[in-house]
Amino acid sequence: MKIVVLVKHVPDAQFDRHLNGAGNTVDRDESILSELDEYALEAALQLAEARGGSKAGNQVIALSMGPSGAVNAVKKALQMGATEGVHVTDDALAGSDAAATSLALAAAVRHLGGVDLVLTGMASTDGETSLVPAQLAERLGLPQVTFASTLEVDGGRLTARRDADTSSETVEAPLPAVVSVTDQINEPRYPNFKGIIAAKRKSITTLSLADIGVDPAQVGFAGSWTSVASAEQRPPRTAGTIITDEGDAGIKLVDFLAAQKLL
């Protein structure tokens, strides 16, 4: 099987994150592999391992689009066990919204050729829009299975389960397909020493927009279909009244709710 996993280099959500520059884009210093993408990578590794791994010709390709630092997300994926890495990078990509991102990623997937499955996380932890997997499927004309909490592949078909608020669904689709997975699907592995050493020998292919046949005018600020006109940092929330329970805190809570007209 040839599986492409989309991995994104995002600012660590444990720290304060910032927008800056004329286009109000995310400051990408202090970035890491998006936590939610680790579940997609783990799902890909398990599918490949169940089929005899790389020795049996299974490929798990970690694909990232982004500035030079984004190669770190690919490296982490290689350490976890991806067989090869692809980094799409070009100055013209800066400022791409979901539509422009999905355009470039679709071109990269086509460029790789013969892909059976594209796996992604349920959302990035920076933009958090969840738009890219569905847009990628629409652009590639492939079936889309989003928010999968289980995933099985048998022959040329996949079966997945999705949980919605009021129902759980079982879905089936022929391959090739685009699948996004939730954090319920597995427990991602940590890279071990062997994996870290092995990753140093794996190749990372760098692709420019010209390599994947994308016109720079279709991506970046110029090619995006949305723009951020202004961004204001919200004042951080400040602590209000704090009391220690002296046997009547439940009543004081109700007094507070009544005063706020919330009852």
Residues of this chain, 21-50, that bind another protein according to CB under 8 A: 24, 26, 35-36
Number of residues that bind another protein (CB under 8 A): 90
User: CA 229: distance to chain centroid?
Assistant: 25
Compute the least distance from the CB of residue 202 to another protein, in Å.
Answer: 29
Counting Cβ atoms within 10 Å, is residue 18 exposed (0-12), middle (13-18) or buried (19+)? middle
Instruction: Report the residue number, 30 or 138, with the smaller CB distance to another protein.
Output: 138
Compute the least distance from the CB of residue 7 to another protein, in Å.
Answer: 17
Asked whether 73 and 199 are in contact (CB, 8 A), the reply is no
Instruction: Report the residue number, 12 or 211, with the smaller CB distance to another protein.
Output: 12
Compute the least distance from the CB of residue 177 to another protein, in Å.
Answer: 7
End-to-end CA separation in angstroms for the chain:
57
Instruction: Report the residue number, 155 or 236, with the smaller CB distance to another protein.
Output: 236
Q: Which of residues 79-118 bind another protein (CB under 8 A)?
A: 97-99, 102
Residue 259 to residues 89, 201, 253, 255: CA-CA distances in angstroms?
55, 65, 10, 6
Stretch that binds another protein, among 45-53, 59-67, 201-209, 231-239 (CB under 8 A): 231-239
Compute the least distance from the CB of residue 6 to another protein, in Å.
Answer: 15
Tokens in use for 139?
């652009």
Instruction: Report the residue number, 93 or 199, with the smaller CB distance to another protein.
Output: 93
What Rg, from alpha-carbon coordinates, does the chain have? 21
Buried b (16+ CB within 10 A) or exposed e, 63-84: bbbbeeebbbbbbbbbbbbbbb
Nearest to 19 by CA among 254, 231, 214, 238: 231
Nearest to 43 by CA among 141, 217, 178: 178
Instruction: Report the residue number, 13 or 210, with the smaller CB distance to another protein.
Output: 13
Stretch that binds another protein, among 51-59, 65-73, 111-119, 238-246 (CB under 8 A): 238-246
Instruction: Report the residue number, 24 or 206, with the smaller CB distance to another protein.
Output: 24
Q: Which of residues 125-184 bind another protein (CB under 8 A)?
A: 125-135, 137-139, 141-147, 159-160, 162-174, 177, 182-184
How far apart CA 178 and CA 237 sit, in angstroms, is 39
Compute the least distance from the CB of residue 246 to another protein, in Å.
Answer: 9
Q: Which alpha helices (DSSP H) does 8-57 contain, by range?
A: 35-50
Q: Which of residues 179-218 bind another protein (CB under 8 A)?
A: 182-184
Stretch that binds another protein, among 67-75, 76-84, 87-95, 223-231 (CB under 8 A): 223-231
Query: Does 245 help bind another protein (rule: CB under 8 A)?
Result: yes
